Structure 1
Amino acid sequence: MTNRKWTLGLIALILVCGYVLIQLLSSTMRIDRLVQQIEPSKMEGPAVKHVVLIAQELDNPFWRTVEQGANDAAGKLGMKIDYMGPIRINPSEQKKLLEKSITAGPDAIVAQGISDPYYERLINKAIDQGIPVITVDADEPGSRRLAYVGTDNREAGKRMGELVVKDAAGNGRIGVIIGSERADNQRLRLEGFRSIISSTPGFEIIDIRSSNISRIQAAQQTEAMLRQHNRMGTIVGFSALDAAGILEGIRAANKEDMHVFGFDDLEETRRSIAQGDVMAVIVQRPKEMGSKSIQLLEQYFKGGSFPKQHYIKTTILDSERMNASVSGR
């Protein structure tokens, strides 16, 4: 009797285990079928592309606007922007960020060119690893970068020269504040500017100094320049923060009737134009630079091809155009 009970218990246990095993297998098979249904939809959906954007200076208004344009385009195209840059202008830090970004292996990189042989080699290294690189604002033309997106800086410099020559009220003795002596975009602007000034009788560039993309240094260099050249009548700034710094330097040197020209339409610069302290500025379109860079990457990812240079048009902003814009609203 005891053996019979043991046998029946064993059979019952086997049946229970068999039932549990069948349910487990059935559940596993259902999960597998669900996963198979989900996975194709994932494969069919667009993968998120990660793009690193390396700015010249993290919180510079110009670069924040580039970031905004890139993010706007990325949001529409299913990409993600990882924005980074030095806290202060620092080409060495830009090189380190580019090197680390390549190691991290993003889908693409957008970065400013800095006219540096090692930086050029890093861009080529990224290309060799299948990471497309687009230069923005300043080019690295000796590299194998995918494309350059930004201002035609030589033409922008010529345009600035034409503005200064057209300003009949200013005298022809000109001081220039450039953002950086090494930056390709600043060098090209100066080349274009020189080509107009040197071919116009009565106009002469008598001093050129660098602000290192710093408002404070622009002010200091302007003051020093004016104390050395007291007959100077016009000062031109080639980077976004220069115009504001030039005005501070003019006040520090106790000079009057100076004619100031600059680049970009920062809010403070716009106020200075309205007040008559700045004659005119060449306005770039950093937001469009950011968005165009991402649009080109989208074309590249889809197998498209395009020219190596994409120039974003500049405009001129002066008091007349500001007043026309306000009255037209």
Structure 2
Amino acid sequence: MNRIGRRWVAAFGLALMTAACGSGGTTDEGEEASPIKRAPTPESEFTATEIEETLDALVAEINEGAIEPMQMAILLKALGGFFTPITTGANRAMSELGVTGNVVGPSGTGGDQQQRAEAQNEQIGQAVTDGAEGIGISPFGDAIAAGIDAAVADGVPVVTLDTDAKGSKRSIYVGTISEAAGKTAGETLLKLLPGTPGTVVIHGNVHPSWLDGLNRMQRARDVLEKAGYKVVVRQVTWGPNGEVDDVAEMRTFIETADPPVVGLLGLHDISYRCAMAAEAAGRTDLPVVAFDYDLKTVEYMRQGLIRATHTQRQYYAGYLVPYILYGIRTIGLEATKKALAPQMFDESRLDVGLDVVLSTKVDEYNLFLDSLGAAQ
């Protein structure tokens, strides 16, 4: 463990003791509980100082009122991989708050999207039955709106994270905002491109059935087209033949586009396929910008075939949710939103932002994730 990490772990241990002493509102002797204190986050060029400052403001508002015991549940679509940093952040926040709660994965791994949503609705109902006073959830789509609305009707506020259920009565969504993410990604690639004319390949979503993916692609496209570039989009595909098909079509774009391709931008976790296409076309000189932090993406970054990627700050999303639920319970929803205002994208969505990681900064970023215990 590096020196920063050791100092942070020591501070975190102290914060846990403080949180444990402060839980329950008052001590057995009737004394007032200690105010909530957050463990200091390790200092790094990747530390999200704007989120840190916003959280400190929320904690200050909470500490002005009564410190109360609380039970909450955090329900995630998975506990490993992409969700590992979310789990770490949520558990850490609940420990600092001294609340009762746990992070729970899906009740099963089988079934289609609708069946998983139905199982998640049952999880919400069970959490309410078990006494949860606040629920954080990464939903399997809008199909869980009924479960969320039932919890809210029972007086249990719900905060969504990672994915949203916009048609529900959830209080706040916490995570990446697709519109903002697409704009940032387009601007990152734009800095690496030569002057126009030229064609840019985007590996993204064009189907309106997936609105978040469409919004992300469209905002990136807007940035590049406004700068004078022609944009062609390869529809991102999953499934057994997805990689082969994606790489083949993007290679064809590179070899035949008029004007010639000058860069590629991937907007999802499999965007390393852009680098594979450039390599297949013999154009490893082309700037490639990716999204998320898949192991293959990191490998291509180390080779210099991907110049930068965008990570979604999953740790911060997980860390924020318990604090927001606690704020809603103790100072109310409107006061909580007011404290969170610097990070609110609109009335009900909080943008955790993105980390733009250059290929020359992979080791530094890994050290930052390790210091948080948030490597995925």
TM-score under structure 2 length normalisation: 0.63
Structure-2 change in CA distance of 1:295 and 1:270 (3 Å)? same
- Superposed CA deviations along residues 239-285 of structure 1, whole A, max 9, x for unmatched, are 23x1334444555x454324321122345433422321101112221
- Listed as ranges, the gaps of 5+ residues in structure 2 are 1-26, 34-67, 338-347, 367-376
Q: CA deviation at 1:296?
A: 0.5
Which residue of the partner structure matches residue 22 of structure 1?
A: none
Distance in 2 (CA, whole Å) between partners of 1:216 and 1:48 is: 48
Which position in structure 2 is the counterpart of 1:155?
180
Task: Measure the CA separation in 2 of the matches of 1:298 and 1:289.
Answer: 15
Larger Rg: 1
How many percent identity over aligned positions? 19
Secondary structure of residue in 2 paired with 1:177: strand
TM-score by length of 1: 0.71
The aligned runs of 1:59-138 (5 Å cut-off) are 59=80, 61-77=81-97, 78-85=99-106, 87=109, 91-106=113-128, 107=132, 108-113=134-139, 116=142, 118-138=143-163
Please tell me the residue identity of whatever aligns with 1:102: I
Q: Pairwise mapping of residues 37-76 of structure 1 onto structure 2 (< 5 A)?
A: 49-55=71-77, 57-59=78-80, 61-76=81-96
- Does structure 1 retain, via aligned residues, the 8 Å contact 2:83–2:314? yes
SS of equivalent to 2:264: strand
SS in 2 for 1:139: coil
Corresponding pairs, count: 280
* CA 1:234–1:215: 2 relative to 1, 3 Å: farther
Judge conservation of contact 1:262–1:281 (CA < 8 Å) in 2: yes
Residue pair 1:219, 1:247 contacting (<8 A) in 2 also: no
- What secondary structure does 2:186 align onto? helix
Change (3 A) 1:238 1:321: same
Distance 1:195 1:215, change over 3 A: farther
Q: Determine the C-alpha separation between the residues in 1 that align with 2:292 and 2:271.
A: 9
Q: Map 1:209-288 onto structure 2 (within 5 A).
A: 209-212=235-238, 217-218=242-243, 220-227=245-252, 230=255, 231=257, 232-240=261-269, 242-251=270-279, 253-257=280-284, 258-288=286-316
Q: Distance in 2 between matches of 1:247 and 1:142?
A: 37
User: How many Å separate the matches in 1 of 2:140 and 2:211?
Assistant: 7
Q: Bigger relative contact order, structure 1 or 2, given CA contacts below 8 A and separation 6+?
A: 2
Q: In structure 1, what is the Cα distance between the partners aligned to 2:109 and 2:250?
A: 28
**Relative to 1, partners in 2 of residues 1:229 and 1:140: Cα closer, same or farther, differing over 3 Å?**
same
2:351 aligned to which of 292, 311, 314? 311
| Partners of 1:173 and 1:234 within 8 A in 2 | yes
SS of 1:256's equivalent in the other structure is coil
Question: Which among 157, 180, 193 is matched to residue 220 of structure 2?
Answer: 193
CA separation of 1:111 and 1:173: change in aligned 2, threshold 3 A:
farther
Residue aligned with 2:304, SS = coil
Secondary structure of the residue aligned to 2:272 is helix
How much does 1:87 deviate?
Answer: 4.1
- Give, in whole Å, the separation in 1 of the partners of 2:294 and 2:314: 12
1:6 maps to which residue? none
Letter paired with 1:79: T
Q: How large is the RMSD of aligned CA atoms in angstroms?
A: 3.5
Cα deviation 1:132-169 (Å, max 9, x = unaligned): 22111233333221101112321221111112222225
| CA offsets 1:263-317 (integer angstroms, 9 cap, x no match) | 2234543342232110111222100100101111111222432223222132211
